[in-house]
Each structure stands twice: as structure tokens, then as C-alpha cells.
């Protein structure tokens, strides 16, 4: 009985499912797909078949060992290190596979990651996230880890190690347009967030002072949130087109029925509810003792708001901004349907051409941008929370 309890104590409840998923992905699922061109289905290959005979067994042994280690109850630092090594090993493996499986002399040949790669990537990411949660790193350390991961990925991309992958070949053909659409995507996501913050926080402050305004305002913003994104983009085409035709100077400023203008307006409308609601919630959570203390030392209402209430409400306000930014990075992809540009251009082109790797060219940077933005804002929220606790009496 004691041995059985010891056996169960030596395994990790999160690590066991992740390890089983890794074993299934590495041993049973195809790791890479080789295609004669970008459209045909291609031939799937397992991990060993997709790698050279010299590197394949070594990489497989390493990944399987890390999968088994992930199932054990090890210190969180070791679990995080193993997960990061596993992620790096997968990237190295798919890079070797792209060079090994590509048909020599065929410029149209494509090599793409298959379901085994993506499943193993998700499993190692789960192990890394679980380890980080247990470690509870400081905000600064999280930003350092993010920078380390991004620098490693960018170094691999810049080295040409992945140039044989189909998604990188799609990028090579569209290098200039990719840079343009990336800037448009950033402008839509961050621009709409900035406008929503500039409009939403002052409006929330007015609603905080004028209590009867709160419920109707939140009700209207909730209704906007229920409208599907494509429908809202479409609804804005007619009024913005009318403004472009009848308001002098509007067209010169970029206001049109299609393009970036309706996309930006729609994203701002979607962003107002999280900003307004979180600002109101943050102000409501300010302790009455803090307000009384500020009043007691002679602060005016404005001084109390700026010097006490808003700083104490800042973590909740930043949480709303985080929601807005991650939401808008994803929604900006849909803006391509009305000519708004962004990474969605490649996603919808790929869907129309049945080219999965072209879809990935738009989807992967969108996911990476959302993840990095969420991590940075999470760190900012923690910094604000730590500062708030430090300032608390």
C-alpha cells in the first residue's frame, strides 16, 4: 500500500496527460507533410521518417525522454527547463525535416508541419505554462523569459534554418506585402485600443459621477458586443460611405465605406465595453477608507480622483485594456474582408486558394502578437498591483 502511494506521489497530475499526449503525437501522428506543390494534399511522414538517419533517433529519444520527465513530479524549474528544451527540439526537428523531405530540383515542393508537430507543440506549451504558474515568477522575469523566447525564434528565422518550410516560402514570395499588412494590423489593433482608452476612461469617469448614466451606457455597449464582427463591419459601410461623399474633407482623411475606416470604428465600438466596465469596477473597488483619508488631508475631488482613486483602480483598468488589445488583434484579422488589410489578407487568400500554409502565414503572427501583448500587459497589471499593495496603509 505504501509503495502504491509512493508511486502516485511521484507523478504529476498535469504532467501525465501532457506526457501521454506527447507520446501519442511523437509515435502515432504524422510529423511533417511533403507536397509536390502548395495545393496538393501531399504525403505524411512520421518523426523518424521525416528526419535524417543521424538526427532522427537522437531527437526522438530526447523528446520522448522529456515527455516522460514531464509526467514526473519534478521541481518547477526543471519542468520549465524541460518544456523549453522540448519546444526548441521540436523547432529543430521541423527545420531538419524541411531540408530532408524537400524534393531536390523542384522549386514548387513544399514541406509543412503535420498534426504530430502541432500536437506536441501544444503539449510542451502546456507543460511550460503549468511550470510558470507554479513558479509564480516576478513580472520582470516573465518579460525576460518572453524576450528570450522571441529572440531565439527570431534568430532561427533569420538564420534561414526554416527556409524549406512551406510557410517560409510563402513569406519569401510576399515579403514586401507582409511588412505592409503587418503595419496595418498593428495600426488597427493598437490604434483602436488607444482611441477606446481615450474615449472610454473619460466617459467612465463621467458615468461614475453621474450614477443614472451607468446602467443605460453599459446596456448600449453590451448590445454592441452581441453584434457579430462581420455584421458590424457591414453595417458601417453605408454610413461611412455617405460621410465620405457628403462631408468635405472626409475622404481625404481616409473615411470610406470600405477599408480601414469601418474596421477601425468597429474595433473601437467593440473595445469600449471592457474599458468602461473595468474602469467603473476599478473605481468601485477603491476602499472607502482610502477616500476618507484623502478627504481628511484636504484633497479636492479632482485631487482624490487623480492621486488616489485612479492609481488604486489601475490594475483593474489595465485588465480591461489587456482584454481589448488581445480581442482587437484577433478581430483585426476579419477586417481584411472589407479591405481593411492586416494579417487576415493572407488568411482569406489561403482559404480561397486551399493553401494551408498561406493561412498559417497570417495566423501564426497573429497568435504570436496576441500572446506577447497579453504577457506584457499581464506583467504591467502585476506591477500595478504590487505598487498598489506597497502604497496601501
Write down the pLDDT at residue 42.
81
Rg value, the chain, Cα = 25
Q: By mean pLDDT, which of 241-255, 326-340, 377-391 is the weakest?
A: 241-255
d(CA 283, CA 88): 44
Q: What's the pLDDT tens digit per position in 293-343?
A: 888 888 888 888 888 888 888 999 999 999 999 999 998 898 888 878 889
What was the pLDDT predicted at 263?
84
Query: Is the domain defined by 175-391 classed in CATH 1.10.3720.10?
Result: yes
Q: What is the mean pLDDT of residues 69-86?
A: 90
* Cβ neighbours of residue 329 closer than 8 Å, sequence gap 6 or more: 185, 189, 366, 369, 370, 373
Least confident of 180-194, 255-269, 318-332: 255-269
Distance CA 32, CA 25 (A): 12
CATH 1.10.3720.10 spans which residues of the chain? 175-391
pLDDT level of residue 249 (50, 70, 90 thresholds)? low
The three grid cell numbers given for residue 68, joined into one nine-digit string: 516522460
Lowest mean pLDDT among 58-67, 182-191, 247-256: 247-256
CA angle 168, 19, 94 (to 5 degrees): 15
Amino acid at each position: 500500500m505504501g509503495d502504491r502511494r509512493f508511486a502516485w506521489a511521484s507523478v504529476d497530475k498535469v504532467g501525465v496527460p501532457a506526457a501521454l499526449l506527447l507520446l501519442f503525437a511523437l509515435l502515432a501522428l504524422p510529423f511533417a507533410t511533403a507536397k509536390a506543390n502548395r495545393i496538393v494534399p501531399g504525403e505524411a511522414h512520421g518523426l523518424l521518417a521525416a528526419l535524417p538517419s543521424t538526427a532522427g533517433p537522437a531527437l526522438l529519444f530526447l523528446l520522448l525522454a522529456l515527455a516522460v520527465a514531464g509526467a514526473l513530479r519534478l521541481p518547477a524549474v526543471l519542468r520549465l527547463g524541460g518544456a523549453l528544451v522540448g519546444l526548441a527540439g521540436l523547432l529543430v526537428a521541423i527545420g531538419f525535416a524541411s531540408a530532408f523531405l524537400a524534393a531536390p530540383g523542384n522549386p514548387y515542393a513544399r514541406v509543412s508541419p503535420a498534426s504530430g508537430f502541432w500536437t506536441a507543440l501544444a503539449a510542451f506549451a502546456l507543460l511550460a505554462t503549468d511550470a510558470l504558474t507554479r513558479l509564480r515568477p516576478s513580472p520582470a522575469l516573465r518579460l525576460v523569459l518572453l524576450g528570450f523566447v522571441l529572440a531565439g525564434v527570431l534568430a532561427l528565422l533569420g538564420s534561414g534554418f526554416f527556409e524549406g518550410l512551406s510557410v517560409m516560402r510563402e513569406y519569401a514570395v510576399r515579403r514586401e506585402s507582409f511588412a505592409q499588412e503587418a503595419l496595418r494590423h498593428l495600426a488597427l489593433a493598437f490604434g483602436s485600443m488607444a482611441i477606446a482608452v481615450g474615449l472610454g476612461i473619460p466617459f467612465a469617469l463621467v458615468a461614475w459621477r453621474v450614477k443614472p448614466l451607468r446602467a443605460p451606457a453599459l446596456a448600449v455597449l453590451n448590445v454592441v458586443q452581441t453584434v457579430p464582427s462581420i455584421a458590424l463591419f457591414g453595417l458601417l459601410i453605408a454610413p461611412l460611405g455617405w460621410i465620405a461623399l457628403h462631408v468635405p474633407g472626409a475622404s481625404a482623411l481616409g473615411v470610406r465605406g470600405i477599408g480601414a475606416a469601418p474596421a477601425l470604428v468597429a474595433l473601437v465600438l467593440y473595445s469600449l465595453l471592457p474599458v468602461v466596465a473595468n474602469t467603473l469596477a476599478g473605481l468601485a473597488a477603491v476602499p472607502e477608507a482610502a477616500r476618507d483619508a484623502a478627504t481628511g488631508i484636504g484633497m479636492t475631488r479632482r485631487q482624490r480622483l487623480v492621486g488616489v482613486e485612479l492609481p488604486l483602480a489601475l490594475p483593474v483598468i489595465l485588465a480591461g485594456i489587456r482584454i481589448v488589445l488581445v480581442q482587437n488583434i484577433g478581430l483585426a484579422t476579419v477586417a481584411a474582408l472589407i479591405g481593411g488589410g492586416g494579417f487576415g489578407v493572407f488568411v482569406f487568400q489561403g482559404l480561397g486558394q486551399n493553401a494551408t500554409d498561406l493561412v498559417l502565414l497570417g495566423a501564426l503572427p497573429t497568435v504570436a502578437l496576441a500572446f506577447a501583448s497579453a504577457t506584457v500587459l499581464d506583467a504591467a497589471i502585476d506591477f500595478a498591483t504590487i505598487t498598489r499593495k506597497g502604497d496601501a496603509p
